[in-house]
Every structure is written in structure tokens, then in C-alpha cells.
Chains A and B, each alone.
Chain A
Amino acid sequence: MGRYRLLEHTADIGLEAWGESREELFIQAALALREVIFGQVAVRETRPLELTLSGGDDAELLVNWLGELLFHFECRHLVPAGFILEFSGGELRARVQGEDFDPARHPVEREVKAVTHHQVLVEQTAQGWHGRVYLDL
């Protein structure tokens, strides 16, 4: 089972996520990012988005993945809910389901400026996959 938690940082906020697979880790990180922005919120799956992303390594890919979701929220007003992920070679293919941003249903708690490379980590351990990333608020 995947899970995540938010990390303390004096000025900003971090997130740490776990998953039995790399896909699950990336999904948990996306849910953590959503919680940073909206808090606990119910989101319907009414709008699809397909993405293909690349990165020099898993850590860079994690930053790019979360950065992409942030962009699609800010510019295309998509609040994500469901995810199907697939890694192939150095690429990540994602099918995201979500709904149009509605401030009444998804009140924004914080603005995330960016997903940083500061101490970013993706590792496979005996227990599964573990990742960490810090957000600039």
C-alpha cells in the first residue's frame, strides 16, 4: 500500500511518499502535492489528460511529473484525482483523470510555486519504493 506524509521546512514544505512499485510511489507523491495545494478535498474523475514525460533519472522524473501536474492545474485548471502510470525506458506515460478547478469545491490553501530539485530522492528499498521532494511555496 502506498502512502505519503508532508515534511516540515522553515520556509516551504516537503513531501515524502512510499509505494510497493515506482508507479505507486509517483501516484502517492501526486496525491501529496494535491493535499499541499487543496488540503483534503473530494475530486471527481470527469476529465482525462495523457502525458509522456522524460528525465535524466528517477529523481528528475519525479520533479518533472509533479511540475507537470502543477502546470496543468495552474494553466489548464485540472485538479487531478485518478492515475494510471507506466514506466518504459527512461519515460513515464501517465493517464490522469480529474475535474475542472472549481474554487467553491476545491478551495486553494496554498500556492505552490515550483517543485524543486533540492534533496530530491527516489530509491528502491527492501520494503518497496521511497521518494522525497521539496516544494517552493
Chain B
Amino acid sequence: MSVKIEQIDACRWRIPREGDMRTEGLVFADRAMIEVLQKEQALEQVRNVATLPGIVGRSIAMPDIHWGYGFPIGGVAAFDPDEGGVVSPGGVGYDINCGVRLLRSDLDASEARPRLKELADALFRNVPSGVGSHRRDLKLSLPEERKVLKEGARWAVRNGFGRAEDLEHIEEGGALPEADPEAVSERALERGRDQLGTLGSGNHFLEVQIVEEIQDAQAAATLGLFAGQITVSIHTGSRGLGYQVCDDSIRVMLRAAAKYGIALPDRQLCCAPLTSPEGRQYLAAMAGAANFAFANRQLITHWVRETFEQVLGRGPAQLRMGLIYDVCHNIAKWERHEVGGRARRLCVHRKGATRAFPPRHPETPALYRDIGQPVLIPGDMGRYSYVLVGTPAAFGETFGSTCHGAGRVLSRHAAKKQARGQNTEAELAARGILVRAANRATVAEEIPEAYKDVREVVGIVAQAGIGRIVARLRPLAVIKG
């Protein structure tokens, strides 16, 4: 079904308010992207989100928007508890706090290249990836798992997995304070127990990269980035624990929506008022799952550092593998924003979108106060990823948000079909990109052609002024589940 949409400028489109919509939609895209989007249901989903009670500002979609469940992937929406605003598990997604972090190093690519194969093999061995794999030296008791839910990355650092300064460079300091382990089901705890410190599969990855191009020298210097440098990206989330929290919550929310008389254009948009017991319960459980994800990425970080030290035979002081930043892609958070001339405390849902706070915002880390919060945008395994920083324009227009990745264009079936007859791993190796994967089916489904060119997505973000490009990174070795 075609959705009515009006062009505002080269990269902004408005879905006018009509029917049950309480506000209008705002989509960041170019004309070609809009034509593709009209063929699927993503724009309809932007419109559906606009019907939810207590929505403040517009129902927003980033240029990596694609068809999701309930909310579109690439969706941002804020809700005011004082106006009947709701929280929706479908506005966060199954992989709660799926996110990405970027590590810097003091290595020039020329120093790592001779050992790259060894490095890829060791990372693949040391960081569990793929279904069912986990580190045998990490046994988590139930009481300890509950502490992970409460303390997030702080738990990891307290147990020797990383450094105290890492926490300063994680969104929310690596732990959402609202987490309540008691709000998380036994089943979710069971699903998560063996999965802490695992990458998972699908689009999740661990990537050794080279800084290919610096676009903003001052910001890059502040972040500690230089051309030719080795960096490492880690993209994963809360694993089975988060999926189960979402699943459990949707069952509760289906009944809650009926109980509170909320009309749902789509079951998957089920929600409850932020002030209701169901809403509070979800936020407490979601925060626990988010903290699990922060701890997950922190453990993997520790094993990445260990692996670099072992393979390259250098100590931490020589490698200087510091955490640049860690951002959430799928989250709902309490934040203060000025809307309609007054400061309000809102619950901002970001589903496949990244927080992008501006320079001098109190939650932008002290080291980055002059440049803005780092924003990490992974692309696909054959091309490139980007580092951006948040802007005042994003704070004003998108509740301080920007895109989160490239977004798929090919279904898994179509990607697999396209990959048939080609040896993706050999082709990437010929271009200097080593791939280590738990199975070949994943590689076929994750071929670069399955994704939009992230350069185009980031280009729209930069043109719209809701993010500023700092650097482009290119993969050298990719670990997939």
C-alpha cells in the first residue's frame, strides 16, 4: 500500500497527519530510497507509530529504515508519561541493546598486516561466535547473572574484564540504572546464562579495520584516530536473554494494550502506559537486558585485547587499545529534551537508530565535550564503516538520534541466490579482507550486496546535518557467527 508522502527538501520527507495519526511522520531519505520504501511496509509502520498515545514530536525514520516488526528498523519516537505516553517492546526490538563499540590501537596497519591471518584465526578461536558456542572458562551462577543485569559493563570491569576508563566511554556508563533483575523471567535468565561473552550470528560481527580516510581532522584527533591505524569494531547485543525479555514482554503488552484501551494498528506495536505497572516492569527488564549487552561487549573487548597481545607479542602499554565509544542501537531511554518550548522528561525509543548527542551535552563524555558524542555506523563486511559525531541539529530535530547502519536490501534467500556460484570468502580475501565464519550459509546471506551502500545512508545523515562524518574505516578481518 502506498503511503502519502511529501518532499520537504533533498533529504527530508513528511508523512502528513491523517486518520488516527496523532502527529506527522518525518523520514530522512533521498528520492531513490523513498521509491524503494514505498514497495515495502516501512513507511506504513512510521505512520502506525504516529498513532500511539502520548507521542511527542514526530514519528521519525532514519535513512537506513526498513521493514521491521511494529516499529520500522531505523525508527525513533519519544513519549511523554504525563500525556499518556507509552512504552512498546516493539519499539526497541528483540535484540535489546544490540549495539556497537569501537576500539582504537596505536598500531599502524603495516605492523598488523603480516600477522593478520594469525590474528583472525585467534580472534575466531577466542571470541565465541555461532549458535551454541561459549567460553568454557566463564561459568555464570544465577546470583552472578543477576549482578550482570544490575551492573552491566561495571560487573565486567569489576571482575577483571577491562579497565575503569572503559566505562566513561560507554553510553550511560555501561549500566542503565532502572534495571531490576527481579523483572526478568527465569526463562530469560536460563537463555542468557551460557551466552554472556558470545558474539552470536546473523549480522553480528567482530571486525579488525584500518582507518581509511579522515574527514574531520580535529574530531579524529580528539577520538585518537589517525589514517592507516588499526581499529576493532564489536557488534552484538543481549543475545537470548534480551530476545526472551522482549518475547515475555510482548505477551504481557498484548493484554495491557487491551486493558488500557489502546487501539493497535498492528499487534507487534503492543504497548502500555509508561506509568502503568506493565510499562514499569518492561522498562526494568529491558534495562537489565541492556546491561547484559553492555557486559557482553565488554567481555569480548577484553578477549580482543588479550588476543592482540598474544598474537603480536606486545603489552597493553604498547598497543594502547582504548575504547573510543559504545552505542546502543535498540533501546528505550529516559532523556530530557526541549519540545514546544519546554524541557520535558521523555522516553525515547530508538530501534535501529543511534543516540547522537551534541557537543557540551552533559551526557557526552568529558573527553569529547568539544566535538560531540561519537556515533558508530557499521556497513557491510566488504566495504566500509563510519565514525560520526552528534550535532546540535540532531538534538533539536531527532531527539539527538541518527542512523545505525546500512540496512538490508536483499532478503536472505535473494542474497543466498546471488552468492551461489561465487566464493565470497575467496573474493573478499583477494581484496585483502579475511573472513572467519562459523558457517558458510551466514557468509552467503551476509554478502556485501545484501546491504545498502552505507556511504549513501551516512551521506543523507551528513547532508541533513543530524550527524558529522569524522572517519571511514575499512575491514581487514571479519569474524562472523
Contacts and interface: CB of A to CB of B under 8 A. Distances in A.
A and B associate: yes
Interface of A: 6, 8-13, 39, 56, 60, 64, 67, 71, 74-75, 77, 101, 103, 107-111, 113-120, 134, 136-137
Contact of A108 (B131, B240, B243, B250): B131
B246 A75 contact: no
Interface stretch (B10-18, B67-75, B459-467): B67-75
B67 to A, nearest CB: 5
Nearest to B445: A110
Contacts of B202: 110-111, 113, 137
Nearest to B131: A108
A60 B67 contact: no
Interface in B268-321: 268, 270
A8 B243 CA distance: 22
Contacts of B438: 108
B191 A118 contact: no
A39 B441 contact: yes
A113 B201 CA distance: 10
Interface stretch (B77-85, B394-402, B411-419): B411-419
Question: Chain A's interface: helix, strand, loop or mixed, by majority?
Answer: loop
Nearest to A103: B132
Given A10-B408, A74-B240, A117-B267, A111 B481 contact: yes
17 contacts: A11-B73, A12-B412, A13-B413, A39-B441, A60-B254, A64-B251, A71-B191, A71-B244, A107-B439, A111-B481, A116-B268, A117-B250, A117-B254, A117-B268, A118-B267, A136-B94, A137-B412
A70 B353 CA distance: 28
Interface string B223-250: 0000000000000000010011011001
A67 to B, nearest CB: 6
Closest 9 CB pairs of A and B: A118-B69, A109-B441, A8-B411, A108-B131, A111-B201, A117-B267, A113-B243, A114-B94, A118-B268
B165 interface: no
Contacts of A10: 40, 66-67, 408-411
B408 A11 contact: yes
Contacts of A134: 69
Contact of A8 (B66, B254, B414, B445): B414
A137 B251 CA distance: 19
Nearest to A107: B439
B126 interface: no
